[in-house]
């Protein structure tokens, strides 16, 4: 769908799901230059790689957004993360599906804001190579069928202008947009407090060891302390309620588990060549220390309460 087709139907305001990265800055400025009134929305998912989410909103305003809003999403993500744990939802190679589960949360949170502001168009910067194209589209279609979804990477006009990442970098530098040092980045990272996903760039060269990736939620196992740390987790009705004797809410549980597991190299650096829904393969390095710690604890608990046949059935379902 071309942006102008949507615009000509009377939708002059587009609401964007943005992270503040290269795609977000490029799309926001380009739409603004074409006369679109752009409202940007960033969902607070406890991103470990963003010390100040307000800085994202500030960047988007510089890029031409008329409004930039931070939307709360940590509570919804914690509940979704619990469901991932309970389902033992690990994808190929055993990595926890932390990025995938965050997309419906992001879309749901933003759709509510779009509805409040009478905005009928959602745009996103997901590329054509990834599963996020499908996640954003299907979630929007299911939750709000009347919402137009504009995906720049499926718009031929946008593709002609920006055939690749380098053209976007050149465009942002030409227009003095506040992008990060994209030229020096060897890979891209997607983050929320459940986990980090590293991919693209030099990671696409399978002849290069992935140990150049700098963990964001802990340390590589070989850099972890050479001594054990013991952890006790209390569960009640399928929910972790206490860690080492301290009662915690679900968000705190994930955060504290991340801290303990991450510093010990647990759940850091899972290396996978995955099959994507859209039909391509992708190499990724994954971090989910808290999910790994809590997930193993839940897995042991299942062994206590389920017989062999029920346990096998549980695994097949998950």
Catalytic (active-site) positions: 23, 103, 132, 188
How far lies 281's CA from each of 93, 95, 129, 130, in Å? Answer: 13, 15, 9, 10
d(CA 96, CA 75): 19
How would you write the chain as a 3-class SS string? CCHHHHHHCCCCEEEEECCCCHHHHHHHHHHHHCCCEEEEEEEECCCCCCCCHHHHHHHHHHCCCCEEEEEECHHHHHHHHHHHHHHCCECHHHCECHHHHHHHHHHHHHHHHHHHCCCCEEEECCCCCCCHHHHHHHHHHHHCCCCEEECHHHCHHHHHHCCCHHHHHHHHHHCCCCCCCHHHCCCEEEEECCEEEEECHHHHCCCCCHHHCCCCCCCCHHHCCCCCCCCCEEEECCEEEEECCEECCHHHHHHHHHHHHHHCCCCEEEEEEEECCCCCEEEEEEECHHHHHHHHHHHHHHHHHCCHHHHHHHHHHC
Beta bridge partners of 234: 242
d(CA 95, CA 196): 11
């Amino acid at each position: 769908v071309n942006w102008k087709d949507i615009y000509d139907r009377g939708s002059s305001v587009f609401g964007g799901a943005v992270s503040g990265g290269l795609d977000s800055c490029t799309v926001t400025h380009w739409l603004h230059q074409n006369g679109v009134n752009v409202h940007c929305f960033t969902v607070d998912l406890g991103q470990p790689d963003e010390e100040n989410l307000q800085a994202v909103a500030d960047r988007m305003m510089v890029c031409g957004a008329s409004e930039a809003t931070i939307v709360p999403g940590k509570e919804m993500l914690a509940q979704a993360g619990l469901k991932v744990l309970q389902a033992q939802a690990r994808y190929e190679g055993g990595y926890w599906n932390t990025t995938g589960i965050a997309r419906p949360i992001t879309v749901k949170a933003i759709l509510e804001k779009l509805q409040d502001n009478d905005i009928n168009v959602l745009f996103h910067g997901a590329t054509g190579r990834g599963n996020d194209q499908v996640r954003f589209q299907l979630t929007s279609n299911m939750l709000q069928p009347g919402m137009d979804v504009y995906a720049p990477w499926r718009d031929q006009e946008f593709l002609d202008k920006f055939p690749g990442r380098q053209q976007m970098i050149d465009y942002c530098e030409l227009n003095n947009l506040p992008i990060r040092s994209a030229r020096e980045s060897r890979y891209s990272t997607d983050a929320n407090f459940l986990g980090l996903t590293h991919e693209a760039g030099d990671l696409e060269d399978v002849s290069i060891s992935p140990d150049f990736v700098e963990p964001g939620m802990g340390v590589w196992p070989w850099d972890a302390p050479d001594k054990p740390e013991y952890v006790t987790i209390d569960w009640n009705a399928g929910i972790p309620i206490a860690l080492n004797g301290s009662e915690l809410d679900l968000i705190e549980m994930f955060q504290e588990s991340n801290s303990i597991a991450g510093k010990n190299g647990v759940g850091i650096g899972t290396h996978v060549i995955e099959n994507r829904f859209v039909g391509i393969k992708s190499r990724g390095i994954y971090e989910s220390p808290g999910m790994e710690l809590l997930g193993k604890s839940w897995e042991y608990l299942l062994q206590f309460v389920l017989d062999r046949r029920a346990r096998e059935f549980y695994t097949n379902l998950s």
